[in-house]
Copies of this chain bind each other. A is one copy, B any other.
């Protein structure tokens, strides 16, 4: 278990997945060492920012030698908590739920969708990417009998809070929420909200401010 003495800022934590992606690409390309300057060119953060971020987790970099790609990747994976399997259920087997299910199926084996849930009788019983859609009414019972780490909410705004309550009561460790709503009653259960509209609005800003590109 990785014990940091100081609380790491949210901003740094948010950047870790970006580092991980870059390091995975570098490893796949056969690159063994990389300097903070080269990482900067790749990711777009400044070299000093990168050195500062990575120093939070102990100094892996060696002056003049750069970072060992494999070691740094392993270390970031360890910090994030990779290297074990996270069982996921997806509540809402519509287009978005299916898309997320399909994404996870083709992504790292650390993540595994064990069941989809929906209230629509036409969808219950269907199998997507090898995962069966179960009746949403059986979600509570399912969570009692199966270890689920992450609950994914791809239901409507109106259904999200109820589904969230079931997930929290059922003891999931975290919630990945795609519904455009601030969930309540999740104290002690981390929630990661995805707001697609935020990205779209940022894009529109840059379209209208070409001098900022």
Q: List residues of A whose CB falls within 8 A of some B CB.
A: 2, 7-8, 13-14, 16-18, 20-21, 79-82, 86, 94-96, 98-100, 102-103, 107, 111, 149-150, 173-176, 180, 188, 190, 192, 194-213
Contacts and interface: CB of A to CB of B under 8 A. Distances in A.
A23 B21 CA distance: 34
A197 B17 contact: yes
A151 to B, nearest CB: 10
A205 B80 contact: yes
Contact of A99 (B2, B14, B80, B96): B96
A180 B7 CA distance: 31
A20 B198 CA distance: 9
Nearest to A104: B200
Contact of A201 (B16, B173, B212): B16
Which residue of A81, A204, A213 has the most chain B CB atoms within 10 A of its CB atom?
A: A204
Nearest to A189: B213
A80 B208 contact: yes
Nearest to A196: B103
A197 B14 contact: no
Contact of A192 (B18, B96, B203): B203
A167 to B, nearest CB: 13
Contacts of A21: 180, 195, 197-198
Given A95-B98, A190-B207, A207-B190, A111 B81 contact: no
A73 to B, nearest CB: 12
A211 B7 CA distance: 8
14 contacts: A13-B212, A14-B202, A16-B201, A17-B202, A21-B180, A80-B204, A82-B204, A95-B99, A95-B102, A96-B99, A111-B200, A176-B200, A192-B202, A192-B203
A28 to B, nearest CB: 12
B213 A190 contact: yes
A188 B212 CA distance: 10
Contacts of A202: 13-14, 16-17, 192
